[in-house]
Amino acid sequence: MPHLTRQDKRAIEEATAKQGGKFDLSRFLWEGMISSVAPPRVQTLGIKGNELFDEIPVTFREFMNSFFSEPVFSGPQEEFATAMYGKDAQTWDTTYEEGIALWGMGSGKDWLIRKLVLYGAYWMMCLRDPQKFFNQGKDETLDIINTSLNAELAKNVFFTGLKKDIKRVVCPQGHSKAAGQRWFETWGMDLREGSEGGDLKENEILFPKHIRAFSLHSKNYSFEGKNVIIAVFDEIAAFNLKDAADIHEGVSENMTSRFGDMGKRFLLSYKRHDFDYMMIRHNEGQKEPRTFTSGPNATWEINKLRKKEHFAAKFRKNPNRARRVYMCLGSGVDEEERFFGYPEKISTTINKDRRNPVVGNQSVIEMPRIKFYPWFKGDPNTTYALHLDLATSKEGAYDCAAICLGHAEEASLVVGAREQDFFKQVFTDENIEDTPYVRNLLQAHPRLDPSSIRKISFRAEKPRETGTDIMDRVQERYTRGLDSYSRKIIIDFYAQLIGQGGGELQLQYVEELVEKIRRLGFKLGIVTADQWQSKQMLQNLSRAGIRAERRSTKNDYEANSTVKSLIYTGMIDYYYNSVFLREAEELVEIGGKVDHPEKSARRQKEEGKALGSSDVWEAVVGCSQSCFELPIGTSLGGVLATTRDED
């Protein structure tokens, strides 16, 4: 007699009592009541059910091992499936309603999606009355939907694969039905194609017990009239952002209205952008108690048949794309859309010896709570520029604003040899005179001979001329006629301003901040703002004797490019500001316009807001423009406190 656990003994006692003191061991085993007597692999396979089940279901892992004969990879794949379906095969686990897997291309996402759908259909078919279990009417359907990017992927990748998988599910050894029989067929399913009169139709699969599966795509995702119990979003990162949000929200509403907390949604994709919908949901999901998130994981961390060295050529050819596609890391911005071709310069240009003048080193300030360190005071010999970017919500209220205070100073124009490779990429013989930075130099220094710039060449003019020799020659020609000086922009203070508690920002607080800056000794030569609603504030400043005018930089490509060139050449000095860093790195250039992405997963993670932004960036652009119009001030402007300064 095999070893019996306490639970087994208790079950035998209960069964004996029910049978009038007589115990039928064979019947007991048949009903699957002892977990440790039968061999492990076949102990519950196909055992006839109880009041709840026609057939006792097995776990996802056992289903893959025994019914499908294709084991799931251990690690993230099994962890994901177990989290979504649970460890107890006889329970429809509701711990999680959504599972999000951010895995690299080739990690087996399509394979796992089909198996998750297949297991869901299998489990529901095991129920004696699926409609009753899910609180539906007698003839109501239970619908499974898969939504892919387009019709071709929906049909040829997912549905074609799912049909093949259905035919591969067979009754294993030890099953109550004949081993090797197609399991779905034993329940009366016609496994012929729809064109032959079967249940495997072109865009629909008809399972027994009023269970259906549909193949949809992002441009045709009508799920009205369906009762969606399981939904798959295949490579949702590739969807149009609005389409993805609408589909996801619509399916979520459909599930909740029909099944309460019993629906299951699966999102599996690799990264396309920092601001694609997959990244948005992955970041949101980490804060949601009923969403299971997995990743980011590299392809070879999921698919045990792949190794990192298999992708070496891809990483050599385009490392950023390879990191995004196979590791779900990196910026995720397409090279042709990225405004900064060399985004690393944004962070490397930060003056790490500079300090944020706001107590607490805040980049986002809840108004009117702002306090500056005592050392933050203006230089009486310097004239400053200030720009305000007032962002409005769809309702027209100010949801936030950005402010930037700066000045111009003299600085030597030096092109170091260590920057030679970078400058080779930024400037070419053909376009160097047309770069905004050079145009600004020509405007600021009329004595400069444009031909001296046009003659700059990065090609060696002498045999075996080194890169350092070339850059020395470039530097000499570049600075000819400039008196060895150029204008450098110093950002003294910049921040994002928000209302109390995240509510509407009162314009009054912005005006009071400008006045506070004046009282700290900053002589404002010009104040600009980008919204017409700021008219009254600008008029008040004008009456105080300050040059104040409206200026918008949003659609000014040259102004944006000027600041980019200043960053590339190190001719702008700024301290660390997390909002500015994110906004600058996320800027995209589409159709000749510079803008922020519609959604930002990075902002969602850092600030709790999903919408993209460029407010602080635009404030810096506006301020820099004004600084070119002001007289050059005293070097450092009297406010460049370093990390060694005391509070």
Amino acid (1-letter code) at residue 441: L
Whether residue 43 contacts residue 37, with contact meaning beta carbons closer than 8 Å, is answered with yes
pLDDT computed for residue 246 by the predictor: 86
Whether residue 481 contacts residue 473, with contact meaning beta carbons closer than 8 Å, is answered with no
Q: 507-517 in b/e burial notation, b at 16+ Cβ within 10 A?
A: bebbbebbeeb
Q: What is the mean pLDDT of the chain?
A: 77
pLDDT digits (tens, 9 = 90+) for 497-510: 888 776 777 888 88
Kindly tell me if the per-residue pLDDT of 312 is higher than 80: yes
**CATH numbers and ranges of domains, the chain:** 1-38 (no CATH), 42-302 (3.40.50.300), 344-410+487-627 (3.30.420.240), 414-483 (no CATH)
Q: What DSSP element (H or E) covers 528?
A: strand 523-529
Using a cut of 0.85, tell me whether the model's pTM lies above it. no
pLDDT band at 47; cut points 50, 70, 90: low
Q: Comparing 362-366, 611-615, 639-643, which segment has the lowest mean pLDDT?
A: 639-643
Kindly tell me if the per-residue pLDDT of 237 is higher than 60: yes
Whether residue 585 contacts residue 594, with contact meaning beta carbons closer than 8 Å, is answered with no
pLDDT band at 131; cut points 50, 70, 90: very high
Q: What DSSP element (H or E) covers 230?
A: strand 228-234
DSSP string, 261-279: T--EEEEEE--S-TTSHHH
For residue 66, give every residue at least 6 positions away whose Cβ sits within 8 Å of its Cβ, in sequence order, or none: 41, 42, 45, 58, 172
Q: What percent of the chain has pLDDT over 90?
A: 33
Mean pLDDT along residues 16-29: 51
Kindly tell me if the per-residue pLDDT of 146 is higher than 60: yes
Question: Would strands 211-217 and 228-234 be described as parallel, antiparallel, or unpaired?
Answer: unpaired
pLDDT band at 442; cut points 50, 70, 90: low
Q: 194-223 in b/e burial notation, b at 16+ Cβ within 10 A?
A: eeeeebbbeeebbbebbbbbbbbbbeebeb
Kindly tell me if the per-residue pLDDT of 326 is higher than 50: yes
Question: Would strands 291-297 and 98-103 be described as parallel, antiparallel, or unpaired?
Answer: parallel
DSSP helix/strand/coil, 599: strand
Kindly tell me if the per-residue pLDDT of 221 is higher than 80: no
Whether residue 252 contacts residue 265, with contact meaning beta carbons closer than 8 Å, is answered with yes
Please indicate whether residue 4 or residue 620 has the higher confidence score (pLDDT). Answer: 620
